[in-house]
Amino acid sequence: MKAPLNNMLHYRFMPDCSEIAHRSRRMKKTKKIIHIDMDAFFASVEERDRPELKGKALIVGGDPQSRGVVAACSYEARKYGIHSAMPCSRAYKLCPDAVFLRPRFDAYKEVSNEIRNIFFEYTDLVEPLSLDEAYLDVTVNKKAITSATEIAGEIKKKIVEKTGGLTASAGVSFNKFLAKVASDYRKPDGLTVITPEKAPAFIDNLPVGRIFGVGKVTEKKMHHMGIKTGAHLKKLDKEKLISLFGKSGGYFYKIVHGNDDRPVVTHWVRKSVGKETTLKEDIIDVNVMGDVLKVLAEKIEKYLKPRERTARTITLKVKYFDFKQVTRSITVNEAITGAGPMMDLIMPLLASTEAGEKKVRLLGMSISNFTDDGRDSPETGQLAFPFY
């Protein structure tokens, strides 16, 4: 007999679902995780503030005549095949009648804070992933509500009321992986619950491309091997997956068997800091590239100095005119303290690429391997967001 909906998340996932009810009595309380993801967030805020844009193909990003990319787009724009990170010039070709707007990040952050305050009404265990999504652990919550599904429904309703009509999709499950997949399952304005009982069948039918950590290259490799769903991944043992996909293979093995013990993290540890820029036009002059990289280094330094942080690894990213991309990294014994040392290391890395022989359209740099733990307080949660 299936458990009532408000009790479904009290069971721990097991491969043999027939034993769940029997064994769960002897087990500790299973986590109740909610993943909230705003629907077309940037575009929705723009539509709210400018009602005349509703129903139109709306693109938030760069000018269509520039090298900018799509930051977000409305669902009407998505019907044309437009998606985030697509060059705006490409988006314009797909839909010349689309409305292009520059991002207003201050407005988005203001709404994001309103939404986060709603989360804190229920739990302090909130892990923001970006301006428009977050994990919540409501296993024990401030309102003593036993049903995570009920909490998710209340949060969705309050978001609509307090933000002037913006909607969110929610996923409810017993771990972070499944909660995140669930939130994307019935967008927009969806609410999907994956109970321990339903998890095995859900994972079996899940396309591998929907598994977090499976990028386009890995997905293509999996498809070439006939691995298209979670069920196909389950047929491979852990050692085989590791031999095929390295460390990620161990992660894939755990995920497809419903195991994800990652906690909801309220204090962020930023493992890297980076900045990149798409150039207004392709360049081949290495000296000009150096000038661009110096600007990026100075921006990273502005993050480091007030926090008194230092790192030991620096990484260069180069994208050529033909969109082929390479990275180069170096780790040093002495701490990297500012823009000067960054430039001393980054220029030899640039010389090891084909920059100067091939035109370059994008340059980026990042530092990592910090010498401190980089722990930030909840009040500095904006560090969880991308640098704009």
Regarding whether 248 and 276 lie in a shared domain, the answer is no
Q: CA-CA distance, 51 to 78, in Å (whole number)?
A: 19
What is the chain's pLDDT, residue by residue, as a tens digit (388 residues)?
A: 444 433 333 333 334 444 444 444 344 578 999 999 999 999 999 999 999 999 999 999 988 888 788 999 999 999 999 998 888 999 999 999 999 999 999 999 999 999 999 999 999 999 998 899 999 999 999 999 999 999 999 999 999 999 999 999 999 999 999 999 999 999 999 999 999 999 999 999 999 999 988 888 899 999 999 999 999 999 999 999 999 999 899 999 999 999 999 999 887 667 889 999 989 899 999 999 999 999 999 999 998 888 788 899 999 999 999 989 999 999 998 888 889 999 999 999 999 999 999 999 999 999 998 876 544 433 333 333 232 2
Regarding whether 361 and 292 lie in a shared domain, the answer is yes
Regarding whether 277 and 250 lie in a shared domain, the answer is no
Q: Is 146 part of a structural domain of the chain?
A: no
Q: Is 247 part of a structural domain of the chain?
A: yes
What CATH number has the domain bearing residue 338? 3.30.1490.100
Is residue 83 within 8 A of residue 216, CB to CB? The reply is no
Token pair of 335 as six digits = 């701490």
Q: Is 76 part of a structural domain of the chain?
A: no
Q: Which residue, 2, 38, 4, is CA-closest to 118?
A: 38
Q: Which residues span the domain enclosing 227?
A: 210-256
Residues listed for the chain: 388
Q: The whole model's pTM is what? A: 0.73
The total of structural domains in the chain comes to: 2
Q: Is 280 part of a structural domain of the chain?
A: yes
Q: Is 84 part of a structural domain of the chain?
A: no
Q: Is 71 part of a structural domain of the chain?
A: no
Residues 6+ apart with CB under 8 A from 165: 48
Regarding whether 297 and 236 lie in a shared domain, the answer is no
Q: Is 252 helix (H, G, I), strand (E, B) or coil?
A: helix
Q: Is 69 part of a structural domain of the chain?
A: no
Q: How far, CA to CA in Å, does 23 sit from each of 140, 147, 247, 326, 373? A: 22, 21, 32, 50, 40
Query: Where do the H-state alpha helices sit in the chain?
Result: 20-24, 41-49, 75-78, 88-94, 105-120, 148-162, 176-183, 199-204, 216-224, 230-234, 238-245, 247-256, 286-307, 339-351
Regarding whether 277 and 252 lie in a shared domain, the answer is no
Regarding whether 306 and 214 lie in a shared domain, the answer is no
Q: Which residues are catalytic?
A: 133
Q: Are strands 360-370 and 311-320 parallel, antiparallel or unpaired?
A: antiparallel
Regarding whether 252 and 289 lie in a shared domain, the answer is no
What CATH number has the domain bearing residue 238? 1.10.150.20
Q: Is 193 part of a structural domain of the chain?
A: no
Regarding whether 295 and 233 lie in a shared domain, the answer is no
Regarding whether 243 and 301 lie in a shared domain, the answer is no
Regarding whether 278 and 229 lie in a shared domain, the answer is no
Token pair of 72 as six digits = 């977000």
Regarding whether 299 and 333 lie in a shared domain, the answer is yes
